[in-house]
Structure 1
Amino acid sequence: MKTENVSISHKNYTLYTQYQNNEKLRLEFNRLTQKVWEFDFENYYQSGYWDDNCILYSLFDGDTIASHTTVSLFTGNSTGETKTLIQLGTVMTDADYQKQGLSRFLMERILNDFKGKNDGIFLFANETVLDFYPKFGFVPVQEFEAFQHIKNLNPGERSDKRKLNLDQEADLKLFENMVENAVPNTIFQTKNKGLSFFYCYANPELGYRDSIYFIEDLNCAVVVENEEQTLHILEVFSPSTIDITRVIASFTDIPFDEVVLGFTPEQNNFNYRKWKDDDLQLFVTEELEPFFKKQQLIVPVLSHT
């Protein structure tokens, strides 16, 4: 944990970073997160998968949290080389402290702390703050969703699968091994073990804990949901390159006529359409802008914060 006394607009605050192990501060952070976003991070912390790639930046007024931004670090591979990418998320300021420059302070501090230590930063902003992030060099970019309309899949190509029960130690270890050793299956890679477990293990009600399958023949774990005849393949974790078509074929016992991916595949047999996450707009720094302008990409769904 790091602590620093700061003055913003003639008022004194304490800046805390990486303080998740401090129960008093963490619970106050959870209180504001629940108030603003209607969820919290306590299950994530208690799961043991909150690692150093999830960094809290919070301004406190005494014992009360006033403003916050989370920094998530990713190992990326957006240009054929290993990159360090950063996402800013869980941005929030308590109503009593808004319009006092606190979010600006946190943004400037984070950009300064990570200057020269990253290959690009991205974030999702709601429609109320679309004019805020361009002040710091962020630009809006369009995302594209990969999909296929499926007809006449050969059931003979189907590999057996089974749903993983992460309450069972063997299944949890198997899934952890898949996540840790996964090779890129997407053009825009954002590898972060902790965040994968945030979605797939630590938050049963919020995430996808009941949607994880293991396909032994393909040696892969797949996060899948089926809604209204659409098979959503949110992520595929495997230590080797996987043919997505074979993954799709493994789910032909489920009725669907369309497949939608939660990531941008390296395979070229998919169609693309514009995609937007509710009222959120993706912003990126100048290092990433050309990449999104030249290709039809989506930030992997399991990487959103």
Structure 2
Amino acid sequence: MTIPDAVTIGHAHEALQAAFCDYVPQVFRTVDFRRWCAWGEWNDDYRAFAVFDEGRVVANASVMRMRLQIEGREVIGYQFGAVGCVPSHRERGLSRVVMEAALEYCGAAPLLLFANERVLDFYPRFGFAPREQMLFGAACHAEPGSEPAPVLDLAEAHVRAGLVALSDEGLAVTERFGARSHARIASWYAANAFSRPLRQLRADAWVLAGVEDGTLYIDDIFAREPFDLRPHIPRLINQPITAVHFGFTPERWWPQARVIGVDTEAYLFVRNLELPSGPHRFPVMART
């Protein structure tokens, strides 16, 4: 059997993108890229490496170019995502084809990916090593304020443009192990209705946050300058809370936060990437 080569799909390849979008829900049942593509969020930072069969994508590995922040240093790397093979074409070596094509494109750059528990033995075959991620939280007793922070709709182009500007030019939410310029990853979550509301605390400070069962979950903060988050908590909640949990390492925003467990929602793997010692959490809204 002849093993086909992988085809590169970039932001300008609309017909190939459509085939990619057809592939994704066949492997990831609750995931879709169509709305994200329609929003124009696929730019040159995102590339897919796909095997086609009769015009259909049957295997794929994508990479997103990342401005990683590691202990205050910026490092250019890549994050893998949408890796898989449609059920009808498994056991043919096609996942290896697309992984090797993506790895060749990335060269010796630092790499990371988040995997589910079904494929934990797959990525070490390509030089990836598992790394533990922690959960952070703190006690916080607060009541809703009289002036809730306005909700911004990422379906609107000007809101997406504003988020891109804040992500490109503002702070990384954490300098321990985080990212900048990841607004288009965050918008993918919004396009799939996976994200919590985006709220505007002020013109240059936007927060993805929501309350569940008396806990405020702050998934990301996009801001040009650091600020004291605590006085704004009443503006982010619609019911009393007793705790706040963070989707990132909150050393800048809540120094008293502590480790409250291990992040078992996704499993981190890295290659050519040395992570800081001590507990940390790569921002959930920067994960592909």
TM-score between the two structures when normalised by the length of structure 2: 0.87
The equivalent position to 1:255 in structure 2, one of 240, 246, 258, is 240
CA distance in 2 between partners of 1:169 and 1:286 (Å): 36
Kept in 2, the 8 Å contact 1:53–1:194? The answer is no
CA distance in 2, matches of 1:212, 1:95: 36
Alpha-carbon deviation of 1:171?
4.8
1:140 counterpart = 2:126: no
1:221 Cα offset (Å): 0.5
The residue that corresponds to 1:163 in the other structure is 151
2: distance between equivalents of 1:48 and 1:167?
11
Gaps of 5+ in 2: none
Over the matched positions of the two proteins, sequence identity in percent amounts to: 24
Separation of aligned partners in 1, 2:139 and 2:133: 20
1:115 aligns with 2:102: no
CA distance in 2, matches of 1:253, 1:130: 39
Alpha-carbon offset, residue 176 of structure 1: 4.2
Matches within 5 A, 1:219-234: 219-234=204-219
Match of 1:5 in 2: none
2:226 equivalent to 1:236: no
Q: Give, in angstroms, the shift of residue 14 of structure 1.
A: 4.2
Tell whether 2:267 aligns with 1:281.
Answer: yes
- Preserved CA contact (<8 Å) 2:11 2:44: no
DSSP 3-state at the match of 1:112: helix
173 and 121 in structure 1: CA distance in 2 versus 1, 3 angstrom threshold? closer
Aligned CA RMSD, in angstroms, stands at: 2.5
Counterpart-to-counterpart distance in 2, 1:91 and 1:62: 20
Q: Aligned residues, how many?
A: 283
CA distance in 2 between counterparts of 1:53 and 1:181 reads 17
Residue 174 of structure 2 is aligned to residue 188 of structure 1: no
Report if aligned partners of 1:12, 1:61 keep a CA contact under 8 Å in 2. no
Whole-Å separation in 2 of the counterparts to 1:263 and 1:159: 26
Paired residue for 1:213, among 176, 180, 199?
A: 199
Worse-superposed segment, 45-54 or 181-190: 181-190
SS at match of 2:177: coil
Deviation per CA, 1:233-290: give whole Å up to 9, x if none: 1111111113333343543653111101111122321011223343x321112523x4
Flag the 1:272–1:24 CA change in 2: closer, same or farther, 3 A: same
Deviation (angstroms), 1:66: 1.9
CA distance in 2, matches of 1:215, 1:72: 29
Q: How far apart, CA to CA, are the structure 2 residues paired with 1:304 and 1:264?
A: 14
- Equivalent of 1:178, from 128, 143, 166? 166
Structure-2 residue corresponding to 1:34: 25
Q: Supply the AA of the counterpart residue of 2:131.
A: V
- The one-letter code matched in structure 2 to 1:162 is P
Query: 166-175 vs 267-276, which deviates more?
Result: 166-175
Q: Any conservation in 1 of the 2:59–2:85 contact (CA below 8 Å)?
A: yes
Query: Residues of 1 paired with 2:70 and 2:19: CA distance?
Result: 36
Q: Deviations over 1:120-154 (max 9, x none)?
A: 21112222322221122211111111101113x59
CA contact (8 A) 2:11 2:43 kept: no
Q: 1:31 to 1:184 in 2, by over 3 A?
A: same
Query: Is the contact made by 2:9 and 2:16 (CA closer than 8 Å) also made in structure 1?
Result: no
Whose radius of gyration is greater, 1 or 2?
A: 1
TM-score by length of 1: 0.83
From 265, 269, 282, the equivalent of 1:299 is 282
Partner Cα separation in structure 1 for residue 89 and residue 157 of structure 2: 45
Q: Which residue of 1 is the match for residue 121 of structure 2?
A: 131
Cα pair 1:185 1:242 within 8 Å, conserved: no
How far residue 173 of structure 1 moved from its aligned partner, in angstroms, is 4.9
SS at match of 2:71: coil
Counterpart-to-counterpart distance in 2, 1:173 and 1:79 = 28
Deviation at 1:182, TM superposition (A): 2.1
Q: 1:17 to 1:273 in 2, by over 3 A?
A: same
